[in-house]
Structure formats: C-alpha cells, structure tokens
Structure 1
Amino acid sequence: MTDLDDIIHQPLRLRIMAALHALPAGEGLEFARLKKLTGATDGNLGAHIETLAKAAYVTVDKSFVGKKPQTKVIATAAGRGAFARHVALLRQIIETGGNG
C-alpha cells in the first residue's frame, strides 16, 4: 500500500485542496473565500498555502482589483494529481479496512 501524502493529509491542507479540486482546472479561489470555506485564521491559512506552494501543489496569484490587493490560490496539475491519489488511497483504506 502506498503511503498517504503527508502534505495533503494535514486537515486544513486537505480542506484547501478539496475546495480547489472542486473547481475546473486553472481556476482558483480568492484568499478571503478560502478562509471562509476552511474556517482558518489569516496566518494559519497563509502558512498552509505556503506549504502547498513549496510542494508545487498550488500557485498563488497576487494582483490588484481596483485598489484592493487580491490573492488567488490555484491548484496545479501536480496538486490535482496528488489530491486524486490521496483520495483514492483513503477510499481504498475505507473499503478494505486498511488491509488492501
């Protein structure tokens, strides 16, 4: 059995990747929306996004909308693949009781 992905397995990072994975490829979520979806604080969310970015699972796009800064987080192809493998492994564990 393959090991769970330690980067994605952490609960907040799993929620971040699940939210991003639900979007069409190439689309992302604005930081404030991701914060609301996950219930994380600014600092905690930022730290976990940084961990995902260092693993190349997400990209962070910073821009201005009018005069307001906006940070958008987008799952990369590598991140989408890692998330899909992680979910498949979790399903396998659930279906086989970990004996598969």
Structure 2
Amino acid sequence: MNQERVFKVLLGPHISEKATVLADGKNQFVFKVATDATKLEVKKAVEQLFEVKVSDVNTVKVNGKTKRTMRGMGKRNDWKKAYITLEPGQDIDFESSAN
C-alpha cells in the first residue's frame, strides 16, 4: 500500500470515553476511516504508519443524524470507524508518531 493511500484510509483517531476505556483495558484503538476502506486496508495502514502488529479489525458504519436547521431539515454525513485490536505487548503512541 502506498503512502498516499495510507493517509486517505486513516482519517484520524476517534476520541471518546468508550475509546479511552478500550485503549486502557483491552488494547484496542478506535480510528475514523474512509467510508470505502476495507478491513485489510485499515490493518495494513495502521501497521505501516504506527509500526505495530494488528490482530483484529472491526468496522462500523455510522449513519449521520438528521438535524433541524433554520432552512429546514438537514443531514450530517455518514462516516465509518474501525476498532483496531493490537497483538499483546504492542502499543500505539500518538505523540511520537506525529513527528
């Protein structure tokens, strides 16, 4: 997988209370990914970018909410997130990988 596709597949980490609990307890990390990304692409992108071994990838398609606006009803964009499970002993350090 080329470097350009890696950055198109992984859009960024998804920070939430549930994601923090998973990272601390089960060695899982949550990422926002492209809606057309496959599990294999996500696995290769994480392994290449963070230099870790991934054991499992689960993806979830999140439907955008319908919201009322001044001009009527509007809809937020649909998006996709991936739950990444790392091999035992592996860890992702977001601060050192940003440099």
After TM superposition, the score normalised by the length of structure 1 is: 0.35
Q: Flag the structure with larger Rg.
A: 2
Identify which of structures 1 and 2 has the higher relative contact order when contacts are C-alpha pairs closer than 8 Å and 6+ apart: 1
- More helix, by proportion: 1
- More strand, by proportion: 2
